[in-house]
Amino acid sequence: MIIVLFGAPGVGKGTQAAILAEKLHVAHLSTGDAFRAAIRNQSEIGKVAKTYVDAGDLVPDSVVASIVEEAMQDPSFARGAILDGFPRTRAQADALAEMLQRRGLSVHRVVNIDVDDATITERLLSRGRADDTAEIIANRLDVYRQETAPLLEYYSAVDSLLVTVNGVGDVQDVNQRILDTI
């Protein structure tokens, strides 16, 4: 089962992916977490990713595809994956489709978590990660609108693939709304 958690920065993709992974016994892959780990380890990928992550820009598609391809080799992904923060561009969506096709798999559901910008900004400012300053959050929201949101149209072209869930409210309530769509 391949589930894509989709949405603007701070809508709760990471929060919900962790809960879903546990409940559905499917591994969780967060490209954001993968880049933060690579940056901590000062790997080659980490060195490339750092400038983009620090600025709230998207890491180049080829780098993203290689980190996902490598991660998905892990046997823990044999049952599928909860993809959190990937794909974020049309090129990444194409890379994912190609990667899954090679394994005889396809995306089961794309769950678009919907939260208004004011709530997102409030959540991220109170989390306070290095890329959670007002200026970088504003850039991440712009990047989302320009580069990632157009994927909603791409996924809505496939019957019953894309669902939108209200991401405002108690974390467990949001999780139940997501489970109801899967």
Which residues are at the interface with ligand B4P (CB under 6 A)?
Answer: 9-15, 30-32, 35, 52-53, 56-59, 64, 84-86, 88, 92, 123-124, 127, 131, 140, 169, 171, 174
Comparing CB distances to ligand B4P, the nearer of 109 and 140 is: 140
CB of 94 to ligand B4P, least distance (A): 13
- CA–CA separation, 60 and 31 (whole Å): 12
169 Cβ contact partners less than 8 Å away, ≥ 6 residues apart: none
For ligand B4P, which is the closer residue by CB, 52 or 77?
52
Pick the closer one to ligand B4P by CB: 98 or 160: 98
Q: Nearer to ligand B4P by C-beta: 84 or 111?
A: 84
Q: Which two tokens stand for residue 140?
A: 């991440």
Let me know the angle formed at the C-alpha of 143 by 112 and 134, rounded to the nearest 5 degrees.
100
| Residues written for the chain | 182
3-state helix, strand and coil shares in percent for the chain, rounded to the nearest 5: 55, 15, 30
Smaller CB separation from ligand B4P, 14 or 80: 14
- Minimum CB separation of residue 102 from ligand B4P in Å reads 19
- 123, HSE (Cβ side, Cα atoms, 13 Å): 18
Amino acid, res. 58:
L
The residue with its CB nearest to ligand B4P is: 32
Smallest distance, ligand B4P to C-beta of residue 26, A: 17
- Show the tokens assigned to 176: 């139940």
**Please, what is the minimum distance in Å from the beta carbon of residue 105 to ligand B4P?**
19
Residue 43 CA to residue 125 CA, distance in Å, equals 28
CB of 5 to ligand B4P, least distance (A): 8
